[in-house]
């Protein structure tokens, strides 16, 4: 067993034991913090997976929320319609083993459907570069949202109630561990060399006989898979889905995590996702203390003002992000293309 795999198994065991022994305690005593903990997990999965596309492969996707939506709705529909059968076969709704197996199946379905959507989107759009790709992925994300909005089967604009709040600390942080393991494993394999080559110089990579489209699509599909998993976790945590929850701003959130953390730095992106999930909550708490005049409360409570200023300042002063590798990214960020 390799060291990385060992770390993964240990991480999963830790998650499992924390979940078994601490879940109810945290969820009942510290419901608010429990909520934030799960949200952090979901955001970390989204950020880590998007980093594979936007960071390591050097593409710029603005539609991650779309794939999350596919996963969330797929998982919710599966659980709503097919869980009774699944649970019937393996032991009933009161059997914790059966419900968890049912959730695993639902999550895998969600991830697979999101991956298929990622493939369908990636094959045509990844021929595009830079800002065109950004707009095309944004467009696909919006089309997915509009499609959900028009599908009566998943509740259209009314929203969709999700049967079974299966999401717990184990599944959330277990998925985080698997996601980080897969992304790092990919990046440090021969495939990873492919991703980095595509990022560093696509023309040179093509000239070396590297099938750049293949690597781009692969990164995109893996990222979409984990976005789908994150969607499933989100669906079974919130228990209610609306298409508006997966709009453009949701994608922007994830992009901000990746850029702040530093494109192409998994640890940086994870830290950024954790920080930026906690920060709005902390600012909200701060806004209601006596130190802040009422007039400025709104300013602190609006996370997007903060995010937007963060984006602009970062791009002006530190484009590689807080934890990005300046050496690997220096080339990419100092060379002017075109003009």
Q: Which of 45, 115, 138, 198 touches another protein by CB under 8 A? A: 138
Cα torsion for 96, 102, 103, 109, to the nearest 10°? 170
**What does the radius of gyration of the chain's CA atoms come to, in whole angstroms?**
20
Considering only CA atoms, which of 245, 234, 246, 272 is closest in space to residue 55? Answer: 272
Compute how many residues bind another protein; rule: CB under 8 A: 48
Cα torsion for 34, 39, 45, 47, to the nearest 10°? -140
Asked if 335 contacts 279 with a C-beta cutoff of 8 angstroms, the reply is no
Q: Please state the closest distance from residue 77 (CB atom) to another protein, in A.
A: 20
Q: What is the DSSP string of 118-163?
A: HHHHHHHHTTS-HHHHHHHHHHHHHHHHHHHHT-GGGTGGG-EE-S
Cα torsion for 242, 244, 245, 249, to the nearest 10°? 170
Nearer to another protein, 1 or 316 (CB): 316
Nearer to another protein, 23 or 325 (CB): 325
Q: Alpha-carbon distance 205 to 106, whole Å? A: 38
Q: Alpha-carbon distance 58 to 36, whole Å? A: 30
Site string for another protein, 95-134 (x = CB under 8 A): -----------------------------xx-xx-xxx-x
Q: Please state the closest distance from residue 319 (CB atom) to another protein, in A.
A: 5
165 binds another protein (CB under 8 A): no
Asked if 70 contacts 113 with a C-beta cutoff of 8 angstroms, the reply is yes
316 binds another protein (CB under 8 A): yes
146 binds another protein (CB under 8 A): yes
Residue 319's region, left for phi above 0, alpha for psi from -120 to 50, else beta, is alpha
Q: Which of 13, 143, 208, 286 touches another protein by CB under 8 A? A: 143
Site string for another protein, 225-264 (x = CB under 8 A): -----------------------xx--x--x---x-----
Nearer to another protein, 36 or 311 (CB): 311
Q: Please state the closest distance from residue 213 (CB atom) to another protein, in A.
A: 13
Residues between 33 and 72 with contacts to another protein, criterion CB under 8 A = 60
7 binds another protein (CB under 8 A): no
Residues between 283 and 312 with contacts to another protein, criterion CB under 8 A = 298-299, 302, 304-305, 307-312
Tell me the residue ranges of DSSP E strands in the chain: 160-161, 240-241
Q: Copy the structure tokens of residue 254.
A: 């994830």
Asked if 263 contacts 107 with a C-beta cutoff of 8 angstroms, the reply is no
Nearer to another protein, 217 or 252 (CB): 252
6 binds another protein (CB under 8 A): no
- What residues line the site for another protein (CB under 8 A)? 60, 124-125, 127-128, 130-132, 134-136, 138-140, 142-143, 146-147, 149-150, 203, 248-249, 252, 255, 259, 298-299, 302, 304-305, 307-312, 315-316, 319, 332-339
């Amino acid at each position: 067993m390799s060291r990385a795999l060992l770390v993964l198994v240990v991480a999963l065991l830790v998650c499992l034991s924390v979940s078994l022994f601490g879940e109810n305690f945290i969820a009942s005593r510290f419901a608010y913090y429990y909520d934030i903990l799960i949200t952090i997990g979901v955001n970390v999965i989204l950020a880590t997976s998007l980093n594979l596309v936007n960071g390591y492969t050097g593409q710029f996707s603005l539609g991650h929320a779309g794939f999350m939506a596919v996963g969330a709705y797929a998982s919710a529909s599966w659980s709503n319609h097919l869980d009774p059968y699944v649970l019937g076969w393996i032991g009933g709704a009161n059997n914790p083993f059966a419900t968890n197996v049912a959730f695993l199946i639902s999550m895998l379905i969600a991830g697979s459907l999101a991956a298929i959507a990622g493939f369908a989107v990636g094959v045509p759009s990844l021929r595009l570069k830079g800002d065109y790709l950004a707009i095309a992925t944004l467009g696909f994300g919006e089309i997915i949202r509009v499609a959900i909005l028009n599908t009566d089967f998943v509740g259209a604009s009314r929203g969709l109630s999700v049967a079974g709040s299966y999401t717990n600390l184990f599944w959330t942080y277990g998925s985080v561990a698997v996601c980080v393991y897969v992304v790092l494993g990919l990046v440090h394999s021969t495939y990873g060399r492919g991703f980095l080559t595509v990022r560093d110089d696509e023309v040179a990579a093509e000239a070396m006989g590297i099938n750049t489209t293949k690597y781009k699509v692969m990164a995109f599909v893996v990222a979409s898979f984990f976005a789908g998993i994150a969607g499933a976790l989100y669906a079974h945590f919130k228990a209610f889905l609306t298409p508006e929850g997966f709009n453009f701003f949701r994608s922007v959130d994830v992009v901000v995590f990746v850029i702040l953390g530093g494109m192409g730095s998994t640890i940086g992106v994870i830290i950024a996702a954790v920080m930026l999930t906690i920060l709005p909550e902390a600012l909200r708490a701060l806004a209601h203390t006596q130190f802040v005049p009422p007039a400025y409360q709104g300013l602190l409570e609006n996370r997007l003002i903060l995010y937007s200023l963060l984006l602009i300042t970062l791009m002006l002063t530190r484009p590689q992000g807080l934890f990005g590798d300046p050496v690997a990214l220096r080339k990419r960020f100092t060379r002017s293309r075109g003009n």
